[in-house]
Amino acid sequence: MDAQSPVGKVETWLAHFNEALATQNMEALKGLFAEDCYWRDLVAFTWNIKTMEGRDAIAEMAGSVLGDVRPCNWQIEGDASEADGITEAWLTFETDAVRGKGHVRLNDQGCWTLLTTAQELKGHEEAKGPTRPHGVTHGAFKDRETYAEAREREARELGYTKQPYVVIVGGGQGGIALGARLRRLNVPTIIIEKNERAGDSWRKRYKSLCLHDPVWYDHLPYLPFPDHWPVFSPKDKIGDWLESYTKIMELNYWTRSTCERASYDAATGEWTVVVDRDGEEVILKPKQLVLATGMSGVPNMPDLPGMDAFKGEIQHSSQHPGPDAYAGKKVVVVGSNNSSHDICAALWEAGADVTMAQRSTTHIVKSETRRELAWGALYSEEAVANGITTDTADLIFASLPYKVLPALQKAACDETRKRDADFYDRLEKAGFKLDFGADDTGLFMKYLRRGSGYYIDVGASELVADGSIKLAHGQVTEMTETGVKLEDGTEIPADLVVFATGYGSMNGWAAKLISQEVADKVGKCWGLGSDTPKDPGPWEGELRNMWKPTQQEALWFHGGNLHQSRHYSQFLALQLKAREAGLPTPVYGLASVFHKS
């Protein structure tokens, strides 16, 4: 082995790294990392989702956990590669509890980024491939219970005579992906979904809705879309897919079911979850409760003077039924992000007279540009052709610490701005107020920091640019009998006012279902602490409360887009399985709470 080859460099580093860990030599460990360095761990070392930033933080974590974790058997997987002074490679390793996969980037000082992820719990692996079940018990047995009978019995008993270990509130893509992983890990789970059918949370939205992310980004675990699946899935198609998926994966998925309230008994380590199941009250007693109610939390509905007097209809965007009833009507849509644009365009298509009331600047990016510049390398047909599987893409993405993302995203944002300069010009000429993020880092950073403030253009921007969708500016200060009044005194007549005014933090669901006390204890969800609008500091390094232990024992938050639902459900499922299996799960660095919402 040539020590100066990429593989040689990684092997040398890995040997030293292994030695430092095995001997718990923290000084040696620090010496292996560059001055600017990151170790991101997904459940392998910390039983947490945590990025250690800098040598001291890394040494502190390692010093704290190594006695329990005992990592070993570090190997390079495949080849290493080198470009722009960075050598990178995939790693495999084990700890006492898990088999892991990692990724390392070295520069001339040492390690710049290290990712460690738990892939499976030893002794609690998913039964798949060579270990898949046999399916039929060959032989002959008096009063044999068939597959269908066993499945029917499970569905009948779970939640009644047998308690689930996990209850997931919310059966959208998040709850479904997590449910599928827990099913494969053999963790008894019930998913509570308010709608009649799985997928209705998509079907019931406005009729022109399609996914804004391309198909390669949207796969669920285990069962990829067939290769004729459209690039941008229409909402009903994704709804039908989710419904088939729940059946194929045999989830215990309770439709027409609403979680009424939940409370935790710390003494017994048990939740009491009151569910209205299609009119029947059922009390569930799970050990773990997951809120997968959508990362958007509870709708923000402003309380304006004059609302009672308004003679038309008022809706939050989440209640908007689509445009069909509003042909020829005057509609004001308050807000200028994704929902507002989608709703305005669909209303215009249906023949309504539409005004968008823009309250603050908005970031716009054309869907095709984003598809190419944001996802092309990892999630595209080209990536598939280059052998980048969905799992590989997810891990590459995970290997980039949140701290270094803005610089990478800014480059893509700058290129977007240059490429679509004419488009942005036309929008500004029409009076639309644009931004490109607090530090010009664009859409994805806004998504991570605040989950709002942008529109992925699939057509509405041209309607704004050419005046088909009218623009108004400023906060709505009150409503009159016939419309809305803006802060500058402008009055806009309306038959319908749609408040596309976003959602509160996801811990609003904890307030609603559990208690304000618990909601305050766990604090704000989502966001990084970037000290940009709607994402106050201090810097936290990971998304707040998502997919990891919270300040409330046995309460978890799961959500995000299809990519996050797929990828992070793996780590949340492993955390839940470890607890169900009774493994020790000492959490390192449980995040403090700095904001209540």
Binding site for a copy of itself (CB under 8 A): 126-130, 132-136, 138-144, 146-149, 151, 184, 203, 207-208, 210-211, 215, 222-223, 226-237, 240-241, 243-244, 247-249, 345, 348-351, 367-368, 381, 384, 457-460, 462-463, 468
Nearer Cβ to a copy of itself (151/162) = 151
What pairs with residue 104 in β-bridges?
89, 114
What minimum distance in Å lies between the beta carbon of 247 and a copy of itself?
6
Helix (H) or strand (E) holding 64: helix 55-69
Token pair listed for 175: 């709850």
Nearer Cβ to a copy of itself (204/512) = 204
What minimum distance in Å lies between the beta carbon of 338 and a copy of itself?
14
What minimum distance in Å lies between the beta carbon of 132 and a copy of itself?
6
Token pair listed for 577: 């399985």
Q: Which residues contact 268 (CB under 8 A, 6 or more apart)?
A: none
Name residue, tokens 């190997």.
Answer: 75
Nearer Cβ to a copy of itself (235/567) = 235
What minimum distance in Å lies between the beta carbon of 465 and a copy of itself?
11
Nearer Cβ to a copy of itself (228/418) = 228
HEC secondary structure over 168-225: EECCCHHHHHHHHHHHHCCCCEEEECCCCCCCHHHHCCCCCCECCCCHHHCCCCCCCC
Neighbours of 528 (CB within 10 A): 22
Nearer Cβ to a copy of itself (154/487) = 154
Nearer Cβ to a copy of itself (383/578) = 383
Helix (H) or strand (E) holding 483: strand 483-486
The answer to whether residues 541 and 53 touch, using CB atoms and an 8 Å cutoff, is: yes
What minimum distance in Å lies between the beta carbon of 566 and a copy of itself?
14
Cα distances (angstroms) measured from residue 280 to each of 138, 190, 193: 40, 16, 14
What minimum distance in Å lies between the beta carbon of 571 and a copy of itself?
19
Q: How far apart are CA 259 and CA 167, in angstroms?
A: 10
SS3 12: helix
Nearer Cβ to a copy of itself (162/247) = 247
The answer to whether residues 551 and 522 touch, using CB atoms and an 8 Å cutoff, is: yes
What minimum distance in Å lies between the beta carbon of 76 and a copy of itself?
21
CA 292 to chain centre: 10
Side-chain-side CA neighbours of 554 within 13 Å: the count stands at 23
Nearer Cβ to a copy of itself (79/145) = 145
Order of all β-strands in the sheet with 72-83? 49-53, 33-42, 110-121, 98-107, 86-94, 72-83
Of 232, 281, 246, 293, residue with least CA distance to 545: 293
What minimum distance in Å lies between the beta carbon of 340 and a copy of itself?
14
Q: How far apart are CA 135 and CA 328, in angstroms?
A: 59
Of 101, 133, 106, 139, residue with least CA distance to 118: 101
Nearer Cβ to a copy of itself (36/236) = 236
Q: How far apart are CA 28 and CA 152, in angstroms?
A: 58
Tell me which amino acid residue 120 is: E
Using alpha carbons only, give the angle 342, 343, 346 rounded to the nearest 5 degrees: 85
Nearer Cβ to a copy of itself (156/261) = 156
Q: How far apart are CA 9 and CA 406, in angstroms?
A: 28
Of 5, 10, 2, residue with least CA distance to 76: 10
Nearer Cβ to a copy of itself (142/418) = 142
What minimum distance in Å lies between the beta carbon of 253 and a copy of itself?
14
Nearer Cβ to a copy of itself (140/267) = 140
Neighbours of 511 (CB within 10 A): 20
Nearer Cβ to a copy of itself (233/337) = 233
The answer to whether residues 411 and 373 touch, using CB atoms and an 8 Å cutoff, is: no
Nearer Cβ to a copy of itself (144/261) = 144
The answer to whether residues 546 and 559 touch, using CB atoms and an 8 Å cutoff, is: yes
What minimum distance in Å lies between the beta carbon of 276 and a copy of itself?
28
